[in-house]
Amino acid sequence: MRRKSYRVWGLTCSACLALLMERVRALAGVRSVGVELVVGGASRLVVLAGSTPQRRAVQAAVEDAGFSLTAPDSTVSAEVSR
């Protein structure tokens, strides 16, 4: 499993959070999604997938939900054991 973190702008409430998580979870290979909500700032989106999540697919899902994705929180992708 691979984990990748991103910064997302525009999240303001739990409804926004739920919509974003729904869209990203729908991506192929995604096992789980977590978000650290920062109202008025860059929230941290963490995606756990069977392979490294494709930035373009994650960005498209985030933008489709109405938010903005900036550069990854970390360029390091970590192996996660079961």
Residue 33 CB burial class (10 angstroms; 0-12, 13-18, ≥19): buried
pTM for this one? 0.80
Characterize 42-80 residue by residue with b for buried, 16 or more Cβ atoms within 10 angstroms of its Cβ, and e for exposed. Answer: bbbbbbbbeeebeeebbeebbeebebebeeebeeeeeee
Which of these, 6, 11, 56, lies nearest to 33 by C-alpha position? 6
Q: What architecture (CATH level 2) is domain 2-79?
A: 2-Layer Sandwich (3.30)
pLDDT of res. 72 = 63
Could you give the angle at the alpha carbon of 30 between the alpha carbons of 35 and 28, nearest 5°?
A: 135
Q: What is the percent of the chain with per-residue pLDDT over 70, rounded to a whole number? A: 83
Q: Is the pLDDT of residue 12 over 80?
A: yes
